[in-house]
Chain A
Amino acid sequence: MTAAPLLEVTDLVKHFPVKRGLLVDREVDRVRAVDGVSFAVGRGETLGLVGESGSGKSTLCRAALQLTKPTSGSVRFEGREIAGLSRRAMRPLRREMQMVFQDPYASLNPRKRIGQIVAEPLRLQGVARGGELRGQALELLERVGLSSEHYDRFPHEFSGGQRQRVGIARALALRPKLIFADEPVSALDVSIRAQIVNLLDELQAELGLAYVFVAHDIGVVRHVSDRIAVMHDGRIVEQGPVDRVCEQPEDPYTKALLAAVPIPDPREARARRQTVGSG
């Protein structure tokens, strides 16, 4: 980590107006999806963002990446303000920040071949073309544990875990410094989840990537993260080094969240139920 963080988000707000009215839409209320959030991510670091459905995790990612316009607040990438930049002005920055999505079934174009999907960002950004494009796409597929025989196949021929590998290869194509991974393993089977978590770990070590790892599963977040931020009702209620937050949580919501995670150990689970029951 260097002195200036890679990404610095300060007081970010994203409100969605609730409008009603016959001729003129009047704003009658607002949904405070993200309500004054600040955090920073250093180079090569993983920030885990944990929270339940509706806590604002996904909106926060979208607003930080300028995929939706923040209502107010500042987002600095390598010291440069990007909040409110036009699509055109954001375009070169898209190389630096990429996203991996939750649903590997919905996030790959079913009519494109795997090779095309992975090469698309390179083509759009004009990084490579022709044979070079194909070569780079093949290299990316291999890097995420797929092979050249997968290049001409379609997404429907792949399992969930393989599709998520394709999604990761696509996110890596432009050699970003930061990847927002929004619930990247929650749609996957238990035996596949560990493979993807380990792949993300390896890529980070190899490429010096920083991650914002978003998930509702605090167990997975704890495993991958250096620091954790806990979101609740649009705000970060607690953030800090992973061991501190998980072992000495301060906020009541963080405590409740940790206490609700089932313990996969019958004796310990029973012991905890009894202490909770009597206390």
Chain B
Amino acid sequence: MSSVGASTLLSVRDLRVGFATEGGLLQAVDGVSFDLAAGEVLAVVGESGSGKSVTAQTLLGLTRSPNARIAGSVRLGGTELLDADDATLHGIRGDRMAMVFQDPMTSFNPVYRIGAQIVEAIRAHRPETSKGAAREQAVELLGSVGIPEPERRVDAYPYELSGGMRQRAMIAMALALDPEVLIADEPTTALDVTVQAQILRLLEQLNRERGLATILITHDLGVVAETADRVLVMYAGRVVEQGTLEEIFYDPQHPYTWGLLGSLTRLDRERPERLPQIGGAPPSLIDLPAGCSFRPRCPHAFGRCEELPGLDARLPDAPGHLDRCWLDPETKRGGRPQ
């Protein structure tokens, strides 16, 4: 699916999030831009400290704090969210844009029944809904995300559900107000693989049936390959490559993306003698190297890399495929590992 201007739901432009710390300004997110259309799944891939979660949280105004320095633009429909007041944000959270977190155990209140929490979410935004009607809706929602016996589970406490069921309930709560955008931050990382597969299928189905636009934050390229339409690869707060799923997996342009793809242990391939690895470690966000942040770890770095490359389209045949690397695209296509 492509992001045609007309169907764009969410538009993020030059988002910058910094935090003032004792050691100096920590630039967690540095100039992230993307558009998200209805029914589209955008995967944001990166390691810890890449800025992927801070980006997601900032969209919902969850990173606001006295030491946060937030700039840029986040528009949902015609509404600018970055400078929206609290009342506007309260109205949007859950209602138009909802979030699913990594750990469903810590995102539910442990002392309230699952159903009561969903009812509360519904009635906070739709006070005209009666308790009984909201409860019926909760039962229906739990059923729609594949929880067996929803009329009984609606009265369960979070601890009474397994990890997978709890994550389903979390998704049910996120869907309660029929949002347009769902932000899922590592929704399957805490789950076993067999359960992960079920949750991914569920998200895909919701996407198709409801036209839900989804931002999927993950470190797992396997999960990305199974679900996403488009991909942003983040490193040290910046997007280093962005493109369609096929472009990122079959014509990757940034050496960091090559490294990520190369270090996967794939069940469908022969075992390599040695796992290809990216040397070194991600840089400190307070003390980034000048130029390309990946330069100290990049086996292909050369003189020009001391200057920060822009996130530009460098391939004549793929105008939507952007990357931040000075290497010549033809050299890259010839020289990158398979």
Contact = CB atoms under 8 A, between A and B. Distances in A.
A78 B62 CA distance: 57
Given A190-B263, A216-B192, A263 B225 contact: yes
A246 B267 contact: yes
What does DSSP make chain A's interface, helix, strand, loop or mixed? helix
Contacts of B120: none
B13 to A, nearest CB: 28
Nearest to A262: B222
Contacts of A261: 193, 222, 267
A234 to B, nearest CB: 16
Contact of A52 (B192, B225, B249, B272): B192
Contact of A268 (B261, B268, B275, B277): B268
Nearest to A55: B192
B266 interface: yes
B221 interface: yes
Interface stretch (A25-33, A81-89, A122-130, A252-260): A252-260
Contacts of A190: 47, 219-221, 260, 263-264
Interface string A194-220: 110110010000000000000011111
Nearest to B259: A191
Interface of A: 52-53, 159-162, 189-195, 197-198, 201, 216-220, 222-223, 242, 246, 256-266, 268-269, 273
Contacts of B127: none
B277 A198 contact: yes
Interface in B185-213: 192-194, 196-197, 200
Contacts of B275: 194, 197-198, 223
A222 B261 CA distance: 17
Contacts of A242: 271
B47 A260 contact: no
Given A262-B222, A263-B226, A264-B225, A189 B48 contact: yes
A264 to B, nearest CB: 4
A263 B260 contact: no
How many B residues touch the partner, as a band? 35 or more
12 contacts: A52-B193, A189-B48, A191-B259, A191-B278, A198-B277, A201-B274, A242-B271, A256-B194, A263-B226, A264-B266, A266-B225, A266-B246
Contact of A264 (B192, B264, B272): B264
Given A201-B274, A219-B264, A260 B282 contact: no
A34 B267 CA distance: 28
B235 to A, nearest CB: 9
Contacts of B266: 219, 263-265
B287 to A, nearest CB: 14
Given A195-B279, A219-B267, A262-B222, A52 B259 contact: no
The 7 nearest A-B residue pairs measured at CB: A262-B222, A219-B265, A194-B277, A52-B192, A189-B47, A194-B263, A191-B278
Given A189-B219, A194-B276, A269-B226, A264 B261 contact: yes
Contacts of A159: 281
Given A189-B219, A190-B219, A191-B282, A263 B268 contact: yes
B245 interface: yes
Contacts of B249: 264-266
Contacts of B261: 264
B71 interface: no
Contacts of A220: 265
Contacts of B192: 52-53, 216
B220 A262 contact: yes
A197 B197 CA distance: 25
A156 B260 CA distance: 26
Contacts of B193: 52, 216-218, 257, 260-262
